[in-house]
C-alpha cells in the first residue's frame, strides 16, 4: 500500500496566517532558534549574530511555507500548525548551518558519503518529529535493522552526525561502527521513502 499524505490547503494556511498572534509566536520561535544554536550545535556567536541568524531563519521558513510553498504542511504528521512550523524551522536551521560550515575536515564524514561523495543520510534529512521518528524505527525494524543500527540512527536524529562523535557516544570501536554503518546504509531507502512521504 502506498503512503498517502494530507497536505494543508491554501485556505487552511491563510487561517493560520491571519488568526494567530504572530508577535508572541515569533518570540517563541526566536527562543527555539537560540536553543538549537546554543544547545544542539554549540555555536559561540555573540547575541547580536545569533539573533540576526534566527530572524533570517524564521523569515525564510515562513516564506517557504506561505509564499513559495516549497515546504508543505503534512496534516497527518503534524495536525498542529505550531509543531509543523517548529519542525520546518529546525530543518531550515540545520540546512543553513550545513551550507555555511567550512570547518569540516576532508574525510571527516567518509561514512556518510556514497561513491559520488554525496550525502546519503544526513542530519538535515532527519530532524523529525517523535511520531515520525517512531514510524521510521518501526520500518527499519521490519527491514531487519538490529539494535546497534537503531542506536546509530538515534544518534543521527539527535544531531550527532560525525562518525567519531557517534563512536564516542555509543562506545564503539572504529571497526564495529564501520560494520554497523554499512548495514544501516543498506536500509537508507527505507528512511528516505518515509521522509519523502512526510514532505521532507
pLDDT for the residue numbered 103: 38
Whole-angstrom distance, CA of residue 90 vs CA of residue 58:
10
166 within 8 A of 160, measured Cβ to Cβ: yes
Among 58, 72, 70, smallest CA distance to 23 is for 58
Among 175, 196, 136, smallest CA distance to 2 is for 196
12 within 8 A of 66, measured Cβ to Cβ: no
pLDDT tens sequence for the chain (200 residues):
444 578 999 999 999 989 888 888 898 888 888 888 888 788 888 888 888 899 999 999 999 999 888 888 989 888 899 888 988 898 888 888 877 653 333 333 333 334 333 334 444 344 456 677 778 888 888 888 888 888 888 777 766 767 777 877 777 788 888 888 888 888 887 777 777 666 55
pLDDT for the residue numbered 196: 67
Q: Which three-class secondary structure state does DSSP give residue 148?
A: helix
pLDDT for the residue numbered 198: 64
Whole-angstrom distance, CA of residue 137 vs CA of residue 182:
17
Amino acid at each position: 500500500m502506498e503512503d498517502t499524505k494530507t497536505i494543508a490547503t491554501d485556505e487552511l494556511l491563510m487561517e493560520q496566517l491571519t488568526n494567530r498572534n504572530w508577535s508572541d509566536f515569533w518570540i517563541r520561535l526566536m527562543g527555539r532558534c537560540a536553543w538549537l544554536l546554543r544547545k544542539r550545535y554549540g555555536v559561540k556567536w555573540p547575541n547580536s549574530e545569533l539573533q540576526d541568524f534566527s530572524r533570517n531563519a524564521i523569515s525564510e521558513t515562513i516564506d517557504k511555507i506561505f509564499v513559495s510553498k516549497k515546504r508543505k504542511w503534512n496534516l497527518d504528521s503534524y495536525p498542529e500548525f505550531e509543531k509543523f512550523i517548529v519542525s520546518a524551522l529546525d530543518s531550515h536551521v540545520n540546512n543553513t548551518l550545513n551550507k555555511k560550515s567550512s570547518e569540516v575536515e576532508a574525510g571527516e564524514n567518509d561514512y556518510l558519503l556514497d561513491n559520488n561523495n554525496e550525502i546519503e543520510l544526513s542530519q538535515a534529512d532527519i530532524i523529525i518529529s517523535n511520531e515520525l521518528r517512531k514510524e521510521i524505527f518501526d520500518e527499519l525494524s521490519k527491514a531487519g535493522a538490529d539494535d546497534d543500527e537503531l542506536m546509530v540512527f538515534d544518534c543521527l536524529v539527535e544531531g550527532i552526525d560525525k562518525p567519531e562523535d557517534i563512536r564516542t557516544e555509543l562506545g564503539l570501536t572504529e571497526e564495529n561502527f564501520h560494520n554497523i554503518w554499512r548495514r544501516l546504509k543498506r536500509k537508507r531507502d527505507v528512511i528516505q521513502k518515509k521522509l519523502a512521504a512526510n514532505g521532507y
